[in-house]
């Protein structure tokens, strides 16, 4: 009798695939063949790996999962941001967002396509402005579920993705082991081959994990969701700040920048009357200066059922100018229309509400 398979084949590193084929009495090059089927040819079953001996295919199928994810809903069109609602093997729903060329985005040039991937189902951190945290936390994504978001969107859209941001649903640093496993597959030449500098991880401020990430050799980029320049403001909207306050967070960022060549980015959502004062801008500038960080200002996207809104365009520009006067490399996302560009978590929420209404 065999035990039920649990590890997914798309969670393994090349070295682990090599260990496995060796254990099964096969030559090492089989591992590269398997990786090639998974990440270049992108088959969806062991049976399609036609240059492997049938016996090996059977053994692999007994020992590993080969789970599929399905795109069940798409919002947006070819030239705009497109949102994909993804159903996982256990029927959980997550979101993945394809962002076309946008000069203000992390590591991106005008010809780049960026994918915003999720790392958890829901989020436990409960930031007051965020749709992802509204229904709490369900579970961590497995490495294969992270990698498969990229493969599924490339298949569905026919586009090649060359920039990855971990800014979908969930807190990546709360699922660091699985996220790092996925990143190694995304980055590896035998995997998806996306350069480390084209991969950005965003965190709400888990200071100890920022230090852990600093000790990782990969030169991925890090973005910090700051959203407030003082503890007063941050405490109001981000519960995590009561655990790791701004000074604790900035000290972890100091450590990060001492270990990495990449500059940090501070993300700062502008929320009217909450964090958009001149005073906050001046303090934000001094934090950014301390870390030589870039600042990315994002006008708040309204979330159905939440009370927050974005400041006027004048206020947004004033905030930006205070940063620039102080020599900070800052950008402001000026896109119009909230509908489709709305932040991650909302399509899932909307779909769940529609389903609830339909079922009741």
Active site positions, annotated: 95, 344
Q: How far is the C-alpha of 274 from the C-alpha of 234, rounded, in Å?
A: 9
Beta-carbon contacts of residue 58 (< 8 Å; ≥ 6 apart): 46
Q: How far is the C-alpha of 95 from the C-alpha of 83, rounded, in Å?
A: 7
**To the nearest whole angstrom, how small is the minimum distance from the Cβ of residue 74 to ligand SF4?**
22
Could you say which of ligand SAH, ligand SF4, none residue 167 binds, taking C-beta under 5 to 8 angstroms by partner kind? Answer: ligand SAH
Could you say which of ligand SF4, ligand SAH, none residue 256 binds, taking C-beta under 5 to 8 angstroms by partner kind? Answer: none
**To the nearest whole angstrom, how small is the minimum distance from the Cβ of residue 104 to ligand SF4?**
19
171 binds ligand SF4 (CB under 6 A): yes
Backbone φ, ψ for residue 343 (5° rounding): -65, 165
**Site residues for ligand SF4, window 123-142 (CB under 6 A)?**
123, 125-127, 130, 132-133
Give the three-class secondary structure for 115. strand
Could you say which of ligand SAH, ligand SF4, none residue 133 binds, taking C-beta under 5 to 8 angstroms by partner kind? Answer: ligand SF4
**To the nearest whole angstrom, how small is the minimum distance from the Cβ of residue 342 to ligand SF4?**
13
239 binds ligand SF4 (CB under 6 A): no
HSE-CB at 342 with a 13 A cutoff on CA atoms is 21
**To the nearest whole angstrom, how small is the minimum distance from the Cβ of residue 268 to ligand SAH?**
8
Binding piece for ligand SF4, criterion CB under 6 A, among 11-19, 121-129, 182-190, 318-326: 121-129
For residue 68 the two structure tokens come to 């599929």
Q: Where does 227-311 show beta strands of DSSP type E? A: 265-270, 294-299
Could you say which of ligand SF4, ligand SAH, none residue 37 binds, taking C-beta under 5 to 8 angstroms by partner kind? Answer: none
Q: How far is the C-alpha of 73 from the C-alpha of 347, rounded, in Å?
A: 9
Nearer to ligand SAH, 8 or 341 (CB): 341
Nearer to ligand SAH, 69 or 270 (CB): 270
CB burial of 36-74 (b: ≥16 within 10 Å; e: otherwise) equals ebbbeeeeeebeebeebeeebbebbeebbbbbebebeee
Contact residues for ligand SF4, defined by CB under 6 A: 123, 125-127, 130, 132-133, 170-171, 204, 225
């Amino acid at each position: 009798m065999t035990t039920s398979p649990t590890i997914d084949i798309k969670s393994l590193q090349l070295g682990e695939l090599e260990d496995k084929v060796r254990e099964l009495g096969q030559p090492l090059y089989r591992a590269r063949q398997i990786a090639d089927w998974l990440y270049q040819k992108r088959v969806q079953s062991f049976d399609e790996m036609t240059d492997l001996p049938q016996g090996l295919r059977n053994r692999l199928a007994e020992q590993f999962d080969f789970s599929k994810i399905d795109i069940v809903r798409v919002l947006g069109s070819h030239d705009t941001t497109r949102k994909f609602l993804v159903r996982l093997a256990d029927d959980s729903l997550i979101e993945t967002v394809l962002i076309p060329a946008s000069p203000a985005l992390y590591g991106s040039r005008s010809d780049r396509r960026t994918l915003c991937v999720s790392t958890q189902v829901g989020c436990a951190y409960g930031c007051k402005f965020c749709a992802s945290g509204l229904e709490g936390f369900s579970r961590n994504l497995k490495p294969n579920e992270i990698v498969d978001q990229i493969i599924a969107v490339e298949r569905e859209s026919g586009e090649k993705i060359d920039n990855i941001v971990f800014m979908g649903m969930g807190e990546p640093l709360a699922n660091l082991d699985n996220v790092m496993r996925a990143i190694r597959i995304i980055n590896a030449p035998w995997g998806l081959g996306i350069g480390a500098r084209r991969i950005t991880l965003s965190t709400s401020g888990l200071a100890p994990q920022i230090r852990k990430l600093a000790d990782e050799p990969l030169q991925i980029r890090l973005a910090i969701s700051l959203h407030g320049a003082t503890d007063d403001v941050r405490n109001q909207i981000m519960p995590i700040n009561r655990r790791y306050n701004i000074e604790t967070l900035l000290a972890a960022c100091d450590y990060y920048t001492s270990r990495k060549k990449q500059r940090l980015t501070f993300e700062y959502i502008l929320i009217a009357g909450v964090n958009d004062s001149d005073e906050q801008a001046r303090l934000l500038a001094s934090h950014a200066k301390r870390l030589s960080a870039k600042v990315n200002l994002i006008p708040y996207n309204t979330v159905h059922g939440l009370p927050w809104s974005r400041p006027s365009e004048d206020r947004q520009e004033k905030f930006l100018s205070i940063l620039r006067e102080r020599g900070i490399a800052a950008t402001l996302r000026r896109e119009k229309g909230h509908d489709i560009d709305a932040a991650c978590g909302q399509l899932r929420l909307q779909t769940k509400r529609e389903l609830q209404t339909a079922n009741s």
